[in-house]
Amino acid sequence: MGRLAGQVAVITGGANGIGRDTALRFLDEGARVVIADLNEPNGEAVLHVAAERGHRDAIRFARTDVAEERAVEAMIRCALDAFGRLDCVFNNAGIGGAFGPIDETRVEEWDYTLAELLRGVFLGMKHGATAMKAQGQGGSIISTSSVAGLAGGGGAHGYSAAKAAIISLTRTVAAELAPHRIRVNAIAPGPLMTELFHRRRSTRGSLTSRGSRWRCRQRPRTPRA
Ligand SMILES: NC(=O)c1ccc[n+]([C@@H]2O[C@H](COP(=O)([O-])OP(=O)(O)OC[C@H]3O[C@@H](n4cnc5c(N)ncnc54)[C@H](O)[C@@H]3O)[C@@H](O)[C@H]2O)c1
């Protein structure tokens, strides 16, 4: 029996990179999983791979923009409706976000970056905690920060600020939810060769170009609803 047998997890950004590999690993360990992501084609591809591994009935895809509260509520509801419980929320979806000199960064670039990276984690914690508290059996909320949130120079300023804030938010929410036996943790990976990493590298050459003011190129191609 796998280490996660009987457990139900929601994984944001589960259609690609870290989230996808986590979802497949969770399935192999016996969990049932909802992958929540904006990218439907990649989400479908993960369902296909999961089915090939014998997990067809243990996985769902919920098209979700983690920056939108109603979508996050729906993502949690999807897990409860499909699998009847919620044990883990992995707030992992992310983008590179605004990239470039601080004195050239526009407010909408900043706001967009913080909404995708930080509001998304806040919403996952909020609605994950609501479901877990109602269930009364504890749980685990994990969020993806980054080494960029621990030290300067690890990423762009908006990205670094959001990732640092995730660590702070994790500490305060962990203390708040401990009496409910809900563990709250963050992970802080270094560079991993995912698409996000490669997209960031490919945009570095244009960082000082004044022609391209909107540099949130890591945004998923699938448009919002
Ligand atoms: N790759 C690295 O080097 C690295 C290092 C440290 C931290 N991280 C963090 O790890 C997490 C996962 O990154 P990855 O490297 O696997 O990237 P990735 O691009 O491979 O996967 C990110 C996924 O998040 C989804 N996503 C983006 N915005 C979304 C939104 N608003 N709503 C729902 N889904 C959304 C994308 O569609 C994609 O499937 C991110 O939070 C990232 O900041 C990555």
Q: For residue 106, report the distance from its CA to the centre of ligand 1, in Å.
A: 22
60 by Cβ neighbours in 10 Å (0-12 / 13-18 / 19+) ranks as: buried
Please report whether residue 99 resides in a domain: yes
Is residue 112 predicted with pLDDT exceeding 80?
A: yes
The domain tally of the chain equals 1
Let me know if residue 88 belongs to a domain: yes
Host domain of residue 73: 8-205
Residue 197: band (very low, low, confident or very high) from pLDDT cuts 50, 70, 90: confident
Distance CA 20, CA 12 (A): 9
Going by alpha carbons, the residue nearest to atom 40 of ligand 1 is 94
Strand partners, 89: 10, 141
Ligand 1 site residues, Cβ closer than 6 angstroms: 12-13, 15-19, 37-39, 42, 64-67, 92-95, 116, 120, 144, 146, 189, 191-192, 194-197, 220
In a domain, 166, yes or no: yes
Which CATH number belongs to the domain containing residue 30 in this structure? 3.40.50.720
Residue 116: its pLDDT value, please?
Answer: 97
Position 133 in a domain: yes
* Beta bridge partner(s), residue 140: 88, 183
Judge whether 82 lies within some domain.
yes
Which residues 6+ apart lie within 8 Å of 213 measured at CB? 104, 106
Rounded to whole angstroms, how far apart are CA atoms 67 and 72? Answer: 8
Q: Which of 159, 166, 170, 220 is catalytic?
A: 159
Amino acid at site 89: V
**pTM for this entry:** 0.91
